[in-house]
Structure 1
Amino acid sequence: MKKALKGKTLLTYLVLLIFSVVSIYPIVFMMVGSTKSTSEIFSASLSLLPGNEFITNFTNLVNNSYVFNALKNSLFISIVATVLTVYISALAGYSFAKFSFKFKNLLLMILIILMTLPGQVTLIPLFNLINSIGMENTPWAIILPGVASAMGVFLMKQNMASIPDELIESAKMDGAKEMTIFHRVILPLCKPTIASLSVITFMGQWGNYLWPLIILKDEKSMTLPVILSNMKGAGQTVDYGMLMTGTLVSIIPMFLVFIFLQKYIITGLYSGSVKG
């Protein structure tokens, strides 16, 4: 019996090890590729040892006038979208968790249905709407459609539902207004969920490619994923060393956000799932 359990454990670790290697290899390849020239990257004898071309690749990247402008655009869009999405989701979640109003259950059902719809379904009507109000080629064309996050509202609602009503009643007895209660009582108790939603939203906006590709036509307004994609357009000689260096630069903010907030992710996703 013990031997069978040990065998299953070893098999489990072996499978996990294989999946880990498969997941990590592309990242390692990209990091090593950023230190090599295009010819070295496609060499039959390519090794995973770093090369000597990183400075050259980075210099070529810096000389591309649109890359760091795109980096600035991506930072602005991701940060502003994250702040607005988290705050609006918290407000809506608080309303669903602690207030009773007409059609509340129907709206919750619609909210859950919206979570199941792929974003591609809304691309055409959203494109027509953004063009009709003259917002194309602006950061707000990327930011505003995403601030009403069904998943964000649901996460915040689940977390806030677990907060005792006695805390709110106590604050009201002390003379606190509704928005004061929301900002000073509710939000501090939801820090794990706020951090978790912030990470999810930031990473989603930072890696957003399809919608910016459709709605942003001017290179000065494009985000980093779109600019990096344009570097390998048809009919162009592609500098893959520079492209991998740009990709490496593009993932640094996501790594930093994840590293600093990783301890909140699991806590935030599961907070409110069990009451008591």
Structure 2
Amino acid sequence: MDRPLAFNLLIPCYNNREGLVRALRSVAYPADQFGILVIDDGSDEPIAQHWLQQEIDGPVSVLRLPRNLGITAALNAGLEWVERNRPARYTARLDCDDVCALRRFYEQVSFLDEHPEIDLVGSWCIFREPESGYEYLYKTPTAHDDIKKGMYFRNLFIHPTVMWRASKQKYPDDFPHAEDYGLFQEMLKEGKGEVIPQPLVTCALDPNGLSRKNRQEQLRSRIKVVRHFGENKWLTSLGVVKLLLLQYLPYQWVLRLKKIL
């Protein structure tokens, strides 16, 4: 039997063709050992397979959704598609406009191959505002036990940096705009996660992005995640208090605090 692909890379896209190409061109790995699935979440101008193959040289497929369903439904559709059509050992994520370091996928595949006890791996990242040039290095704890504690206060796995062991995962749909936080907490209930202490992805800070537009709803969902998965009452209470306070802080203040902390 042929050895399965190393990983499938899921990239959702909605009306961002330029950002999609920018992200795809940063992906480096032997072409016969992985696959890319672009989930076109009902873009006004459909993303066609032949157009993408003219723009990039890589193993890319397109799953077109009939209308804009949102990132949670788009990612779940992508997970179902790769499970049926292109099994792989691992699943990885990337977003439009985000750029991978040259060694990202080599590092993460090697890490999971060499650490069978780890189910989920992320990395540090650089957040950058393309217009202003403002950027900062986002660092988190790296070891599982420290991550478990830290997850009461923030999502230590930045979504476009992660790779995990493929199984029948599904993003929860009851934590709007925090679906990744819920998924990773679910993984950590039974398995282990670690973070590679290198900035393997540069993530674009978009002033019109979903996270900023839906910040209040995202914070409410994060509170639900902490309450749902929290096992330590004291840490759960502290995490909820922190998130409640963040609802009253201006977004620019939060960015500056993240750079300092």
TM-score (normalizing by structure 2): 0.23
* Larger RCO (CA under 8 A, 6+ residues apart): 1
| Higher share in strand | 2
Greater helix content = 1
Which structure has the larger Rg? 1
